Chain A
Amino acid sequence: MKDETHIRGLAHTDTIHDSAIKQVQGQADYTDDLNEPSGLLHAYLGLSKCAHGKIASMDLDAVRASRGVIDVLTVDDIPGENDVSPNGKHDDPIFADGKVLFWGQPVFAVIAETRDLARRAAAKARIEYQELPFALDPIAARDAGMDYVTEPLTLRRGDAGKGLSAAPRRIKGRFAIGGQDHFYLEGQIAMAVPGEDDDITINVSTQHPSEVQHMVAHALQVPSHSVVVNVRRMGGGFGGKETQMNLFACVAAIAAKKWNRTVKIRPDRDDDMSATGKRHDFVVDYEVGFDDSGKILAVQGDWYARCGFSADLSGPVTDRALFHADNAYYYPDVRVSSHPMRTNTVSNTAFRGFGGPQGVIVAERIIEEIAYALGRDPLEIRKLNLYENGQLTPYHQEVTDQILPRIFDELEVSSDYQARRQAVLDWNAKGGVIRKGIALTPVKFGISFTATWFNQAGALIHIYSDGSIALNHGGTEMGQGLNIKVAQIVAEAFQCDISRIKITRTTTEKVPNTSATAASSGTDLNGMAALDAADQIKARLVDFVAERWQVAPEDVTFVPGHIKAANHHIPFDEVIRAAYMARIHLSAAGFYKTPKIHWDRATGKGRPFYYFAYGAAVSEVSVDTLTGEYVIDRTDVIHDVGRSLNPAIDRGQVEGAFVQGAGWLTCEELWWDAKGQLRTHAPSTYKIPLASDKPRIFNVKLADWSENAERSIKRSKAVGEPPFMLGISVFEALNMAVASFNDYREPARLDAPATPERVLMAIEKLRG
Chain B
Amino acid sequence: MTPQMRFLLNDQEIVLTDVGPADTLLDHLRISQRLTGTKEGCAEGDCGACTVLLGRVTDSGLVYEPINACIRFLASCHGTHIVTIEHLKSPQGGLHPIQAAMVENHGSQCGFCTPGIVMSLYGLWMANPTADVTQIETALQGNLCRCTGYEPIIKAALQAGRAGGQAQDALSVERDAVTARLRAMWGARVELVKEDERAIIPADTDDLAAILEAEPKATIVAGATDVGLWVTKFLRDISPAVFIGHLMKGIEVSDGEIRLGAGVTYSEAAPIFRDHLPQAYDYLLRIGGWQVRNMGTIGANIANGSPIGDSPPLLISLSARIVLRKGNTRREVALEDYFIEYGKQDRAPGEFVEQIVIPTQAGATIAAYKVSKRRDSDITAVAAGFCIRVENGIIGSARIAFGGMAGTPKRAAKAEAALVGQPFAAAAFDAAAKAVQDDFQPLSDWRASAEYRSTVAANLFRRFWLEQSEPGLPVRLNYAVGA
A interface size (C-beta, 8 A)? 89
| Residues of B contacting A432 in the complex (Cβ-Cβ under 8 angstroms) | 473-475
A68 part of interface (Cβ distance < 8 Å): no
CA distance A627 to B464 in the complex (A): 13
Of A631, A655, A682, the residue contacting B44 (CB under 8 A) is: A682
In the complex, the answer to whether A23 meets B149 with C-beta atoms within 8 Å is no
Q: Mark B423-467, 1 if CB is under 8 A from A, else 0.
A: 000000000000000000000011111011001100110110010
In the complex formed, the residue of B with least CB distance to A700 is: B151
| Residues of A contacting B371 in the complex (Cβ-Cβ under 8 angstroms) | 627, 629, 756
CA distance A680 to B451 in the complex (A): 20
Q: Mark B90-125, 1 if CB is under 8 A from A, else 0.
A: 000001001100111011111111110010000000
B481 part of interface (Cβ distance < 8 Å): yes
| Residues of B contacting A185 in the complex (Cβ-Cβ under 8 angstroms) | 39, 41, 47, 49, 110, 112-113, 144-146
B7 to chain A, nearest CB (A): 20
In the complex, the answer to whether A183 meets B144 with C-beta atoms within 8 Å is yes
CA distance A25 to B108 in the complex (A): 11
In the complex, the answer to whether A757 meets B109 with C-beta atoms within 8 Å is no
In the complex, the answer to whether A696 meets B153 with C-beta atoms within 8 Å is no
| Residues of A contacting B35 in the complex (Cβ-Cβ under 8 angstroms) | 26
CA distance A696 to B35 in the complex (A): 37
Most buried by B among A16, A237, A652: A652
A300 to chain B, nearest CB (A): 33
In the complex, the answer to whether B36 meets A691 with C-beta atoms within 8 Å is no
In the complex formed, the residue of A with least CB distance to B115 is: A26
Of B49, B108, B109, B149, the residue contacting A694 (CB under 8 A) is: B149
In the complex, the answer to whether B88 meets A25 with C-beta atoms within 8 Å is yes
In the complex formed, the residue of B with least CB distance to A16 is: B103
| Residues of A contacting B481 in the complex (Cβ-Cβ under 8 angstroms) | 696-697
CA distance A761 to B104 in the complex (A): 44
In the complex, the answer to whether B42 meets A683 with C-beta atoms within 8 Å is yes
Of B379, B466, B483, the residue contacting A684 (CB under 8 A) is: B379
A745 part of interface (Cβ distance < 8 Å): no
B interface size (C-beta, 8 A)? 91
B376 part of interface (Cβ distance < 8 Å): yes
A648 part of interface (Cβ distance < 8 Å): yes
B348 to chain A, nearest CB (A): 31
A656 to chain B, nearest CB (A): 4
Q: Mark A746-762, 1 if CB is under 8 A from B, else 0.
A: 00000000011100110
In the complex, the answer to whether B146 meets A238 with C-beta atoms within 8 Å is yes
| Residues of A contacting B36 in the complex (Cβ-Cβ under 8 angstroms) | 26, 29, 32-33
CA distance A27 to B381 in the complex (A): 39
Q: Mark B367-395, 1 if CB is under 8 A from A, else 0.
A: 00001111111110100000000000000
A520 part of interface (Cβ distance < 8 Å): no
CB neighbors of A among B1-50 (8 A): 27, 30, 35-44, 46-47, 49
| Interface of chain B, main secondary structure | loop
CA distance A233 to B110 in the complex (A): 8
CA distance A511 to B375 in the complex (A): 46
In the complex formed, the residue of B with least CB distance to A427 is: B474
| Residues of A contacting B449 in the complex (Cβ-Cβ under 8 angstroms) | 757
| Given contact pairs A185-B49, A626-B463, A690-B377, A656 touches B147 in the complex (Cβ within 8 A) | yes
| Residues of A contacting B184 in the complex (Cβ-Cβ under 8 angstroms) | none
A406 to chain B, nearest CB (A): 25
In the complex formed, the residue of B with least CB distance to A481 is: B109
| Residues of B contacting A120 in the complex (Cβ-Cβ under 8 angstroms) | 235
B207 part of interface (Cβ distance < 8 Å): no
CB neighbors of B among A656-710 (8 A): 656-660, 667, 669, 671, 673, 679-680, 682-685, 687-694, 696-698, 700
Most buried by A among B102, B104, B149, B455: B149
A11 to chain B, nearest CB (A): 17
Of A20, A679, A755, the residue contacting B373 (CB under 8 A) is: A755
In the complex, the answer to whether B483 meets A630 with C-beta atoms within 8 Å is no
In the complex, the answer to whether B460 meets A626 with C-beta atoms within 8 Å is yes
A388 part of interface (Cβ distance < 8 Å): no
B363 part of interface (Cβ distance < 8 Å): no
CA distance A185 to B145 in the complex (A): 7
CA distance A191 to B148 in the complex (A): 28
CA distance A270 to B371 in the complex (A): 25
A170 part of interface (Cβ distance < 8 Å): no
B388 to chain A, nearest CB (A): 18
CA distance A692 to B285 in the complex (A): 13
CA distance A434 to B460 in the complex (A): 14
In the complex, the answer to whether B150 meets A691 with C-beta atoms within 8 Å is yes
Stretch among B58-66, B135-143, B269-277, B400-408 lining the A interface: B135-143
| Residues of A contacting B183 in the complex (Cβ-Cβ under 8 angstroms) | none
| Residues of B contacting A4 in the complex (Cβ-Cβ under 8 angstroms) | none
| Residues of A contacting B39 in the complex (Cβ-Cβ under 8 angstroms) | 30, 32, 185-186, 235
CB neighbors of B among A290-325 (8 A): none
CB neighbors of A among B144-178 (8 A): 144-154
In the complex, the answer to whether A652 meets B109 with C-beta atoms within 8 Å is yes
CA distance A757 to B84 in the complex (A): 40
CA distance A236 to B483 in the complex (A): 32
| Residues of A contacting B448 in the complex (Cβ-Cβ under 8 angstroms) | 757
CA distance A269 to B30 in the complex (A): 17
CB neighbors of A among B37-83 (8 A): 37-44, 46-47, 49
| Residues of B contacting A235 in the complex (Cβ-Cβ under 8 angstroms) | 39, 110-113
| Residues of B contacting A651 in the complex (Cβ-Cβ under 8 angstroms) | 106
In the complex, the answer to whether B103 meets A669 with C-beta atoms within 8 Å is no
B233 part of interface (Cβ distance < 8 Å): yes
CB neighbors of B among A264-279 (8 A): 268-270
A19 part of interface (Cβ distance < 8 Å): yes
In the complex, the answer to whether B114 meets A23 with C-beta atoms within 8 Å is yes
A478 part of interface (Cβ distance < 8 Å): yes
A503 to chain B, nearest CB (A): 14
| Residues of A contacting B478 in the complex (Cβ-Cβ under 8 angstroms) | 622, 631
In the complex, the answer to whether A433 meets B475 with C-beta atoms within 8 Å is yes
CA distance A679 to B445 in the complex (A): 9
| Residues of B contacting A683 in the complex (Cβ-Cβ under 8 angstroms) | 41-42, 44, 46-47, 144
CA distance A443 to B46 in the complex (A): 33
CB neighbors of B among A446-493 (8 A): 478-481
B346 part of interface (Cβ distance < 8 Å): no
In the complex formed, the residue of B with least CB distance to A761 is: B452
| Residues of B contacting A123 in the complex (Cβ-Cβ under 8 angstroms) | 235
| Residues of A contacting B108 in the complex (Cβ-Cβ under 8 angstroms) | 17, 19-20, 23-24, 479
A624 part of interface (Cβ distance < 8 Å): yes
In the complex formed, the residue of B with least CB distance to A67 is: B195
| Residues of A contacting B378 in the complex (Cβ-Cβ under 8 angstroms) | 687
A184 part of interface (Cβ distance < 8 Å): yes
CA distance A270 to B41 in the complex (A): 11
Of A28, A660, A690, the residue contacting B376 (CB under 8 A) is: A690
In the complex, the answer to whether B118 meets A24 with C-beta atoms within 8 Å is yes
In the complex, the answer to whether A27 meets B37 with C-beta atoms within 8 Å is yes
A199 to chain B, nearest CB (A): 27
In the complex, the answer to whether A688 meets B137 with C-beta atoms within 8 Å is no
| Residues of A contacting B146 in the complex (Cβ-Cβ under 8 angstroms) | 182-185, 236, 238, 656, 660, 688
| Residues of A contacting B154 in the complex (Cβ-Cβ under 8 angstroms) | 691
A276 to chain B, nearest CB (A): 15
A679 to chain B, nearest CB (A): 5
In the complex, the answer to whether A269 meets B42 with C-beta atoms within 8 Å is yes
CA distance A481 to B107 in the complex (A): 12
In the complex, the answer to whether A434 meets B474 with C-beta atoms within 8 Å is yes
In the complex, the answer to whether B42 meets A669 with C-beta atoms within 8 Å is no
Shortest Cβ-Cβ A-B pairs, 7 listed: A26-B37, A235-B112, A479-B110, A23-B111, A659-B149, A26-B85, A479-B109
Would you list 27 pairs from A and B whose C-beta atoms are within 8 A, ordered by A residue?
A16-B104, A25-B115, A28-B111, A120-B235, A123-B235, A184-B112, A185-B113, A185-B144, A186-B110, A235-B111, A236-B146, A237-B110, A268-B43, A433-B474, A434-B474, A624-B476, A626-B460, A627-B371, A656-B146, A656-B147, A667-B373, A682-B42, A691-B153, A696-B482, A757-B452, A760-B456, A761-B455
Given contacts A185-B144, A185-B146, 6 further A-B contacts (CB under 8 A): A184-B146, A185-B47, A233-B111, A624-B475, A651-B106, A685-B379
